Amino acid sequence: MVSIHSHLGRTGVAPVSKIISRLNGIKSQRQARCLSCGWARRSLWILPFLAVSISRAADYDAQFNQWFAVQTNLQSWAGDFTQTRTLTVLNQPLVTRGQVWVKPGEFRWELGQPAQTIVLRRPDQLLIIYPRLKRAEKYPLDAVPTGPMRDALALLDASLPRDRATMEKNFRLLSATETNSILQMTLQPRSDAARKFIGEVVVGFHTNDFTIAATEMKFADGSRLRNDFTNVVLNQPIEPKMFEADLPPDYSVVEPLKK
């Protein structure tokens, strides 16, 4: 479990965190006496800021935990989203609306109205359907070879983290900022191979009701993909058939991982 304190150092309270970590890292009592003597005389004025920072960090951590607690206890959630894709080759970002339904271990992601891309996540597989092209791509999640594809799929999964353990397993928390009652966590994939693909993931949630507010992926080539969620409804029953793919017979189904 990563201590949030060390990461806060990057967000602008570096001197304070360095002092804290230095104090925490002291092993020699003599060092501690000298340090405490010296800093006590010269740094008393820092103490108020220190108190504020510590308490702010503690608030974020608590909010994280509460958000994750909400995630853990969620049976389902659904909502609308606006997806913005900022690509290095385009002058303006591409904006598409969609809908999402999420259950533990499953989600349905419809992009476009009418849906041009449908992503169905099951415990054992990921299915991407392109209705206009009458094409479906199947990715068995238990047979993905190690490598960037596996990491990318894990990230896709983790971009909607359900619990802190899963999140921390796949990501390193870089920073957390709160703006307009939305707490945004900036995460960095732990996997080196995945980092070549996705540089950062940002997850934002409402601090009042702990519903998901936004997710954003920043890719290694500079492009970004952001989802802003609205009309999020929690724990409403969702029909099981929403997560099933009933593909018409004229659809071509491919398994890109099979070569």
Partner 1 sequence: MSSFLKRWWWALLIVMTGIGLVRLRFDVDILDLLPPDEPTVQGLKLYQQHFTNARELIVTLRAPDSETAERLAGELADRLRQQTNLVEEVTWQPPWMERPDQLGELLGWLWFNQSPGDFAALTNRLAPGQLKPTLDETRELLATSMSPMDLARRSFDPFNLLTMPALANISGISMDQGNQMFASADGKFRVLYVQSAVDLTSYRACASWLEKIHAVIAELQSGAIVHFTGRPVFVEEIATSMQRDMSHSVGATAIIIALLFWLTHRRWLPMLWLLALLMLILIATLALGGLVLGTVSVVALGFAAVLLGLAVDYAVVHYQEALAYPQMTVPEIRRAIAPSILWAAITTISAFLVLNLGGLPGLGQLGSLVAIGIALSALVMVMIYLPPLFPDRRQPCPNQTPFRWWNYFVAPQEVPVTGMVSAEKSSHRAVFLLTGLIFFSAGAVLCFQRPGLDRSGNALQPAHGEAQQTLDEMTAELGLPPQPLWLIISGRDESEVYRRLTNAEILLNSAVTNQLIGHYLLPDTLWPRAEYQAANRATAAGLGKKGPPLRDALSSAGFNTNAFVLTAELVRTWSRAGESKSVMWPTNQVSQWLLKRFVARTPDECLVMGLIYPATNKVDAAELTALSRQLAQNHALLSGWELLGNATLKRVQSRMWEVVTPMVALVLLSLWFAFRRATEILLGVAVLCLSGVCLLATMVLAGWTWNLMNLMAVPLMLGTGVDYTLFIQLALRRHGGDLVAVRCSVGRALLLCGGTAVAGFGSLVFSSNLGMASLGKVCAVGIGANMLISVFLLPAWWRLFSPKSKVQSPKSEDAGAKDGEKSTRAKLPPFYRAGLWRLGLVAAKMIPAGLLKTIAAALADFYWIIQRQRCEVVVQNFLPVFAGDRTAAEKAARAAHRNFAAKLVDLWCVEGGETGCNWLTNSGELEIIHAARRRGRGTLFITLHLGNWEHGGLLLNQLGIRLTILTQAEPDDGLTDLRKAARARYGVDTLIIGDDGFAFVEVIKQLQAGADLAVSLDRPPERGGVPVEFFGQPFAASLAAAELARASGCALVGVTIVRRPDGYAVKVLPEFTYDRKALGNREARRELTQQILRAFEPEIRKDIDQWYQFTPIWVGQASRLSQK
Is 174 a binding residue for partner 1 by CB under 8 A? The answer is no
Write the DSSP assignment of 192-256 as a string of letters: HHHHTTEEEEEEEEETTT--EEEEEEEETTS-EEEEEEEEEEES----GGGG-----TT-EEE-T
Which range in 19-27, 60-68, 191-199, 201-209 contacts partner 1 by CB under 8 A?
Answer: 191-199
Is 258 a binding residue for partner 1 by CB under 8 A? The answer is no
Beta-carbon count within 10 A of 152 CB: 18
Pick from 27, 20, 7: nearest CA to 47: 20
Our CB check for partner 1 shows the closer of 117 and 177 to be 117
CA distance 157 to 155: 5
Kindly tell me which residue out of 6, 61, 112, 242 binds partner 1, with binding defined by CB under 8 A. Answer: 112
Beta-carbon count within 10 A of 122 CB: 15
Kindly tell me which residue out of 99, 117, 125, 177 binds partner 1, with binding defined by CB under 8 A. Answer: 117
CA distance 142 to 125: 8
Is 146 a binding residue for partner 1 by CB under 8 A? The answer is yes
Contacts to partner 1 from residues 206-245, by CB under 8 A: 221, 223
Is 63 a binding residue for partner 1 by CB under 8 A? The answer is no
Our CB check for partner 1 shows the closer of 95 and 233 to be 95
Using CB under 8 A as the criterion, which residues of the chain lie in contact with partner 1 when the complex forms? 83, 85, 87-92, 94-96, 111-112, 116-117, 119, 128, 130, 137, 146-149, 152, 192-193, 196-197, 221, 223, 256
